[in-house]
């Protein structure tokens, strides 16, 4: 496996309900949080509709990148769920019932029957339909679901989980801690920023360019504010990257901001 510095991590969020606004996405911020706690970071993210062709194209591209990818949503067994089928088509492999998934789904049906909900008989139409949720691209491994046993699947560095946060987030944590533990905290990373007032971005831009030329392992950033919520207009200037170099770059950027007339405290 490549080193952590060479591994990019992506997130795909699937669901018409996100794009239409019927539901608000919660996965992006949670995935960033889960990665940050392990010294990892997100390189890219996409929100896609429940459109089979669009999903096939997106997964075909992401499989080709070699990136680690987490995909949330669309792995159910109803006609509007296309993720399992799209992943198989992207890899040009057939779909098949995964034996471990079938076992877990049968256990779920037994649990429900013990609670007076449905039957444990897997030959019933309802349970046969539930088994469809264990039909994955050939070559997949299951991702355990501690919430209700219905697993997700893993193939070619792609982890596919349901759209429900109560299920998806523990499944992603399990994947990070069991499949990618060797990547945790391998790359030292620091991020620092400060607010500066009375300084246009155009004036500080050459200093930011100088940071990246002098410290190649550091990136400078600028987040301007026009004065939302009653705040004074300002710029949040910062650096991120290798800790020692980032500390040096921060001191340089701060001194340049002051030299160019910036104020470190809000003017009266």
Predicted pLDDT of residue 194 = 94
Whether the pLDDT of residue 6 is over 80: the answer is no
The pTM assigned to this predicted structure is: 0.85
pLDDT digits (tens, 9 = 90+) for 96-112: 999 999 999 999 999 99
pLDDT digits (tens, 9 = 90+) for 129-149: 999 999 999 999 999 999 999
**CA–CA separation, 63 vs 14, rounded Å?**
16
Averaged pLDDT, 241-265: 94
Averaged pLDDT, 44-58: 97
Contact criterion met (CB below 8 Å) for 6 and 67 = no
Look-up: residue for tokens 């990070």?
A: 176
Contact criterion met (CB below 8 Å) for 240 and 218 = yes
**CA–CA separation, 208 vs 252, rounded Å?**
10
Given pLDDT bands bounded at 50, 70 and 90, which one contains residue 2? very low
Predicted pLDDT of residue 167 = 97
Whether the pLDDT of residue 4 is over 70: the answer is no
- All domains in the chain, ordered by first residue: 4-183 (3.40.980.10), 190-259 (3.30.70.1130)
**CA–CA separation, 248 vs 171, rounded Å?**
39
CA end-to-end span of the chain: 55
To the nearest 10°, report the CA torsion of 45, 166, 55, 24.
-60
Whether the pLDDT of residue 183 is over 90: the answer is yes
Averaged pLDDT score across all residues of the chain: 94
């Amino acid at each position: 496996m490549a080193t952590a510095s060479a591994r990019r991590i992506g997130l795909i969020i699937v669901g018409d309900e996100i794009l239409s606004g019927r539901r608000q996405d919660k996965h992006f911020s949670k995935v960033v949080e889960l990665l940050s706690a392990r010294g990892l970071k997100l390189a890219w993210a996409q929100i896609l509709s429940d459109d089979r062709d669009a999903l096939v194209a997106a997964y075909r591209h992401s499989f080709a990148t070699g990136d680690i990818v987490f995909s949330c949503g669309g792995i159910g067994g109803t006609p509007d769920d296309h993720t399992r089928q799209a992943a198989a088509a992207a890899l040009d492999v057939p779909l098949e019932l995964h034996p471990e998934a079938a076992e877990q789904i049968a256990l779920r049906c037994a649990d429900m029957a013990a609670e007076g909900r449905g039957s444990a008989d897997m030959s019933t139409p309802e349970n046969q339909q539930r088994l469809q949720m264990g039909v994955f691209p050939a070559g997949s491994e299951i991702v355990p679901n501690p919430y209700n046993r219905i697993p997700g699947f893993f193939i070619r560095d792609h982890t596919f989980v349901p759209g429900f946060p109560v299920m998806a987030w523990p499944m992603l944590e399990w994947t990070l801690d069991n499949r990618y533990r060797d990547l945790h905290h391998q790359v030292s990373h620091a991020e620092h920023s400060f607010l500066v007032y009375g300084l246009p971005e155009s004036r500080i831009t050459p200093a930011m360019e100088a940071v990246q030329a002098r410290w190649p392992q550091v990136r400078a950033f600028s987040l301007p504010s026009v004065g939302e919520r009653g705040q004074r207009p300002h710029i949040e200037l910062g650096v991120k990257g290798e800790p020692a170099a980032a500390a040096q770059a921060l001191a340089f950027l701060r001194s340049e901001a002051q030299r160019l007339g910036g104020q470190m405290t809000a003017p009266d």
